[in-house]
Amino acid sequence: MIENKRQLRNVFKEVSYSDEEISKKLKETWDAIFVNPATKFYFNAGDDMGYMVDTGNTDIRTEGQSYGMMMAVQMNRQDLFDRIWKWTDTHMRIYEGPHKGYFSWNGTLDGEKIGAGPAPDGEEFFAMALFLASKRWGDKTEKPFNYSEQAKDLLHLCINKGEEGLEGHPMWDPTNYLIKFVPELDFSDPSYHLPHFYEWFAVWANEEDRSFWEKATQASRDFLVKACHTETGMNPEYANYDGTPNDFNGHGDFYSDAYRTIANIGLDSEWFGQREEYAQIAENLLTFFKDIPVEEYKKYKIDGTDTGEKSLHPIGLLATNAMGTLALDNQELTEQVVKQFFETAPREGNRRYYDNCLYFFAVLALSGNYKMNWED
């Protein structure tokens, strides 16, 4: 049985920040996304819906919608959770064809679908956020607010499409239990791997699906170690199932998507215990970046070779590196990285969406507020 009441670390406090400073940081980060007119990228839509805007591309993505739902449930904002979920269910759910039941990965601010298909990182975050909403607030009877049933049905589709008369392709490979970049392609995205979610899916999903999630949990933990370079700790944006870089459309380097991997490793360590392999990955990655100013972050080959191209999301990278300290057993390095992050403000400008989503999750996790359950 998973331990529900695991004591979560407050790393900010460990490195000397006061409760008042930490609370202020959490509020300021929330306000930067949801409240302040100059920086927010969450918006109400009508009387009962809402959306998160990718400010760099001026569209709405399942990534951002699912992130917004996770933020809302962590902060006990059922009103915002329901608004975002209703927009997603109304405007992004696919109702016919091989992707039926999935969500179009992006759409316009007017609610029109753009993407022809789904991106699995959205679906897995939707499922976890919905389960947590059920645990925190209880299921409603009316759809789509019967949270846990929505999550179970979605996960069932994700791993069973192509079988049982379900048209289309699954989001997880049925033979190796690894999440795909998109359902139709046989390679992965290391930053999609969330074994700390899958452990809960193995408890909360439909009973007939739980064995799959148990296997997916271990498969993802093994994969993450393979995907991270043994000296730099970097991973590619896209990877083959053996962990080696896949350069599909030029995404075989350590760049935007890839930053999330160390954050996922950190949260898995926080929720389910540190692992020696994770600690080494974090040590390698954070050591690589410890003497590089944020404004000088670049796009790198996974062996650390500088490609000459600037990082598109340097604040996001700083945030995920800070979150990666949850996997680390090095107090000096932890203190350096966490203090650097704490003293850096959320990003402004048109690229603020992705960076500040990652920033908020890091603040949650490092303050001991990224919770995995509310059951007694």
The CATH number of residue 234's host domain is 1.50.10.10
Pair 298, 210 in one domain: no
Residue 92 belongs to some domain of the structure:
yes
Residue 258 belongs to some domain of the structure:
yes
Residue 222 belongs to some domain of the structure:
no
Residue 95 belongs to some domain of the structure:
yes
Cβ neighbours of residue 291 closer than 8 Å, sequence gap 6 or more:
none
Which candidate in 59, 123, 253, 257 is catalytic? 257
Cβ neighbours of residue 304 closer than 8 Å, sequence gap 6 or more:
229, 231, 232, 234, 288
Phi then psi for 113, rounded to 5 degrees?
-70, 140
Which pLDDT value is given to residue 3? 60
Which candidate in 54, 59, 63, 124 is catalytic? 63
Q: Distances in Å between the alpha carbon of 236 and those of 22, 232, 300, 375?
A: 33, 12, 9, 37
Last residue of a domain, one of 193, 217, 241: 217
Q: How many domains does the chain have?
A: 2
Pair 78, 160 in one domain: yes
The DSSP letter of residue 124 is H
Which pLDDT value is given to residue 376? 41
Contact 125, 67 (CB under 8 A): yes
CA gap 208, 22 in Å, rounded = 42
Q: What is the value of pTM for the model shown? A: 0.97
Residue 65 belongs to some domain of the structure:
yes
Q: Is 257 a catalytic site residue?
A: yes
Q: Is 153 a catalytic site residue?
A: no
Residue 29 belongs to some domain of the structure:
yes
Pair 83, 165 in one domain: yes
Which pLDDT value is given to residue 4? 56
Taking 50 as the pLDDT cut, the residues of the chain under it are 376
Residue 290 belongs to some domain of the structure:
yes
Last residue of a domain, one of 217, 243, 260: 217
Contact 154, 170 (CB under 8 A): no
CB crowding 6-28: b at 16 or more within 10 Å, else e: eebbebbeebebeeeebeebbee
Judged by phi (left if over 0) then psi (alpha if -120 to 50, else beta), residue 243 lies in left
Range of the domain at 290: 7-40+228-371
Last residue of a domain, one of 217, 252, 268: 217
Pair 186, 292 in one domain: no
Which pLDDT value is given to residue 164? 73
